[in-house]
Amino acid sequence: MHIQQIYDEEDLNFQSTTHLGRPIAILNRDGRWHVYLDHILQHNVVFATAEDAIAWLIERIDQGVSARVH
pLDDT tens readout for residues 2-55: 444 555 555 689 999 999 999 999 999 999 999 999 999 999 999 999 999 999
pTM over 0.85: no
> Using CA atoms, how far apart are residues 57 and 28, in angstroms rounded to an integer?
15
- Work out the burial of residue 9: count CB atoms within 10 Å of its CB; fewer than 13 is exposed, 13-18 middle, 19 or more buried: exposed
**What is the pLDDT confidence band of residue 69, given thresholds at 50, 70 and 90?**
low
**What's the confidence (pLDDT) of residue 3?**
46
Residues shown for the chain: 70
Q: Please give the torsion angle defined by the CA atoms of residues 56, 48, 18 and 60, in that order, rounded to the nearest 10 degrees.
A: 10
